[in-house]
A and B are shown apart, each in its own frame.
Chain A
Amino acid sequence: MNFSVVVSQFWPLLINGLALGFIYVLISLGYTMVYGVLRLINFANSEIFMVGTFATVIVSRNFFGFNQNTDPLHGFKLVYTLGACLLASMLVSGVTAVLVEIVAYRRLRAKGTNRLASLISAIGVSIILQEGVRILTHSVPMSNPRLLRKAYIFNIGSVGLRVDTLLVIFFAAILFFLVDRFVSKTLLGKAIRAVSMSEETSKLMGVNLNRVISATFLIGGMMTGAAAFLYETVYENTKYNVGFSIGLAAFTAAVLGGIGNLRGAFLGGLSLGLLEEFAAAILGTQWKSVTVFLVLVLVLLFKPNGLFGEAVQQTRV
């Protein structure tokens, strides 16, 4: 154990923890929004993240023709290349999420089966996606070309802030803000909240349940896809099972904040990111995943509604 590192490395740990936390926030939106409307844990969300990472890598490598030897980009070219990768990831993940719902959940729901059937279907579709990509990529990891020079752009005290870390925090915060506004202000957002409170009454209001559910999967999937892009910008590689551990961490974040609750996902994601980063610094990086699962177990044991479940109940998706 090394507590002195918390003091000497406080700012870098804080910034990196926030960046990781913001990636968790976006992915946990995928879990939490779907849970809100369907009371279903969409275990396939980790694979929706995974296909998103491949979308970014494939667009930058195959569409723009970048590789490991390409120099980082500048100016306008950098902006539109990153923009194209972000959009590709959001689109691929969003569409995948919608298709997963139509193929794996919708018909079960129409037959009125219980939630256990959907849960098993979720695990099934997760395995299919993962194995499908494993076969397509021959289990070989793919690396993302470095499009963005990882320069230190300015200092807080003695600590340099890296441009990719700031990009993650900046974009994730904007996207979260937009989703939060969308859900609270637009009519479709209100319909999503209405369905999460009562399916039956929502139908009486003329809400087309399937359409609202598709919209929810689309938004959740798009946020998960954006997280995949940001993850690639920082970590620069992916493989077929990349979603497993990060998906579980994001799920933990959602549970930590109180699943079904947007702001809970926000607080849960940031808390978990910071906790992981500091725990890794104090205990050693091998304890990173242990921390996540320990948090999950403790939350489920002592605070099954999540740490912020009660306080932010009113803002439930």
Chain B
Amino acid sequence: MRLEIKDLHVFYGKIEAIKGISITVNQGEIVTLIGANGAGKTTMLKTISGLRPVASGQILFDGKDISKVPAHERVGLGISQAPEGRGIFPGMTVLENLEIGKYFRKERKSEMVEDLEKVYSLFPRLKERATQAGGTLSGGEQQMLAIGRALMARPKVLLLDEPSMGLAPMMIANIFRIITEINNTGTTILLVEQNAQQALQRAHRAYVLETGHVVKEAKASDLLNDPAVRAAYLGTGAANH
């Protein structure tokens, strides 16, 4: 697995949201995109998943340009996403939400039981709530469900958009621990986060985005100690690091 984005430009109407970004994600890595609101982080993930059209540039997945592949086929290539705001189907049960995560490989029924077990062992809470409507879960449980649902597709690369958003500190720590666990089983992860502290502690490499550009690229551990990054994204909380 190798995801390589070259000189990507993306527009929202007439506004250019991504202004020539190039990033690379290698097999087995956790790569994080950090930056302020409006830097283009979510747009990057949406474009990789095919929800936003590419104006110019390339999205190379294992060397093949997939920028014209329709969104619903990209999950079949091995790219799945737990979107911003989690995107839980509120009127469907937890189990149904997980089942629909396997929609594109619906012919392989035998995998369903096996993959449900995997997700349940990662998130035992989801098993307890299996018959409950997705909309009735807490924020943390919804995030677990969003990640679990994305894993049902057996992704090669997992895109996570702000998994810590709106969660209590305990739950944030829990989610990040699980992200590392998923990565340890061989799934590559591209993580978008505003919680730069946690993201940089977990990731191997990081890109700093500002208004549609990459302004810095480095090993995550180096960025944690970079005074400019600490001042801009880690705030005072980083002092006790």
Contact = CB atoms under 8 A, between A and B. Distances in A.
B68 to A, nearest CB: 15
Contact of B91 (A197, A200, A205, A206): A197
Contacts of A316: 91
B81 A204 contact: yes
Interface string A184-220: 0001001101100110111111111100000000000
A187 B106 contact: yes
Interface in A266-310: none
B163 interface: no
A201 B72 contact: no
Contact of B104 (A193, A197, A205): A205
A203 to B, nearest CB: 4
Contact of A207 (B49, B103, B105, B150): B103
A190 B96 contact: yes
A13 to B, nearest CB: 36
Interface residues on chain B, size class: 20 to 34
B153 A206 contact: yes
Contacts of B71: 203-204
B71 to A, nearest CB: 4
B99 interface: yes
A314 to B, nearest CB: 5
Interface in B53-81: 70-73, 75-76, 80-81
Contacts of A194: 89, 92, 100, 103
A67 interface: no
A203 B91 contact: no
Contacts of B100: 187, 190-191, 194, 202, 205, 207
Interface string B7-38: 00000000000000000000000000000000
B92 A193 contact: yes
A104 B18 CA distance: 34
A315 interface: yes
Nearest to A208: B72
B90 A197 contact: yes
Given A187-B103, A194-B92, A206-B104, A201 B87 contact: yes
7 smallest A-B Cβ distances: which pairs? A206-B104, A201-B87, A206-B75, A203-B71, A197-B89, A205-B103, A208-B72
12 contacts: A187-B106, A190-B96, A190-B103, A193-B89, A198-B87, A203-B49, A204-B71, A204-B87, A205-B103, A206-B72, A206-B103, A315-B91
Interface of B: 49-51, 70-73, 75-76, 80-81, 83, 87, 89-92, 96, 99-101, 103-106, 133, 135, 149-150, 153
